[in-house]
């Protein structure tokens, strides 16, 4: 895992939590401009990225990371009042965000979720962030690619947009998790989406769901 934060105390705290609780192997960067060099030395499973840094901020660094082939997922660290920055991070390709003062158990779950291709949107700020996202970026016209989805795939996309994980989607639709996983793969392929966070953003961008419907 790569931890990117310009505050040494924050990096140290995260390092102690993650190593003590789950034995993660941690490397560190003190600013966004160091991330590309760090990736050249080896691909981490997850990047834990602060947004507010002095030279290259978290949004620009996330965009650089996500433009690379085989880019690792980026989980953004945030404070409670970063709504506009978080909406920018989602547009840049972040797989999710978590508050800096979250319990250690939530941090570990978030890291593991995004490492396996999931999305983690901290429920304490998700509604406000998605509202800010739509304010900055109004709903896009309907995408012709949506017409390529089957009715079931559209249902699955809507539930992804509402923050459901595969097990929850399976229960709601009365199908197996294996079938859900297959639908998700087809959705990603038809809509040219990289991961679950991108699917959530797409669903909001194109009116499949609205911020008031999200239960992430």
Measured over the CA atoms of residue 40, residue 197, residue 188 and residue 192, the dihedral's sign is: negative
Range name among 8-17, 32-41, 129-138 with the lowest pLDDT average: 129-138
In the chain, the N- to C-terminal Cα span, in Å, equals: 24
Per-residue confidence (pLDDT) for residue 178, from 0 to 100: 96
Per-residue confidence (pLDDT) for residue 137, from 0 to 100: 54
Q: What is the dihedral of CA 177, 183, 185, 187, to 10 degrees?
A: -140
Per-residue confidence (pLDDT) for residue 183, from 0 to 100: 97
Q: Does residue 175 carry a pLDDT above 60?
A: yes
What is the pLDDT confidence band of residue 36, given thresholds at 50, 70 and 90? confident
| C-alpha to C-alpha distances, 151 to 68, 183, 190, nearest whole angstrom | 33, 11, 13
Round to whole Å and give the CA distance between 29 and 37: 10
Kind plus residue range of the DSSP H or E element containing 166: helix 166-173
Residues 6 or more apart whose Cβ sits within 8 Å of residue 81? none
- If one compares 88 and 182, the residue with the highest pLDDT of the two is 182
Per-residue confidence (pLDDT) for residue 41, from 0 to 100: 86
Q: Which domains does the chain have, with CATH numbers?
A: 2-136 (3.40.50.2300), 144-213 (1.10.10.10)
Of all residues in the chain, what percent carry a pLDDT higher than 70? 84
**DSSP assignment, residue 1?**
-
Q: What is the mean pLDDT of the chain?
A: 84
**DSSP assignment, residue 7?**
-
Round to whole Å and give the CA distance between 50 and 7: 9
Mean pLDDT of 39-46: 89
User: What would you report as the CA-atom Rg of the chain, rounded to the nearest whole angstrom?
Assistant: 17
Per-residue confidence (pLDDT) for residue 120, from 0 to 100: 86
Round to whole Å and give the CA distance between 106 and 14: 12
pLDDT in tens, 113-169: 898 888 887 766 666 666 655 555 555 556 788 999 999 999 999 998 887 888 999
Per-residue confidence (pLDDT) for residue 151, from 0 to 100: 95
């Amino acid at each position: 895992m790569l931890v990117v934060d310009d505050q040494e105390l924050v990096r140290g705290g995260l390092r102690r939590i993650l190593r003590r609780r789950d034995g993660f192997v941690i490397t560190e960067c003190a600013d966004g401009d160091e991330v590309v060099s760090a990736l050249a030395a080896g691909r981490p499973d997850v990047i834990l990225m602060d947004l507010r840094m002095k030279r290259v901020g978290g949004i620009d660094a996330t965009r650089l990371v996500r433009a690379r082939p085989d880019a690792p997922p980026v989980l953004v660290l945030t404070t409670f009042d970063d709504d506009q920055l978080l909406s920018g991070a989602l547009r840049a390709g972040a797989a999710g965000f978590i508050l800096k003062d979250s319990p250690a158990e939530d941090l570990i779950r978030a890291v593991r979720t995004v490492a396996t291709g999931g999305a983690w949107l901290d429920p304490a700020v998700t509604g406000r962030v998605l509202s800010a996202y739509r304010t900055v970026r109004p709903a896009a016209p309907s995408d012709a690619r949506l017409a390529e989805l089957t009715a079931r795939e559209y249902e699955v996309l809507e539930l992804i947009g509402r923050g459901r994980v595969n097990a929850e989607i399976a229960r709601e639709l009365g199908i197996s998790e294996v079938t859900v996983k297959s639908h998700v793969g087809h959705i990603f392929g038809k809509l040219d989406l990289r991961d679950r966070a991108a699917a959530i953003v797409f669903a909001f961008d194109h009116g499949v769901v609205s911020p008031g419907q999200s239960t992430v």
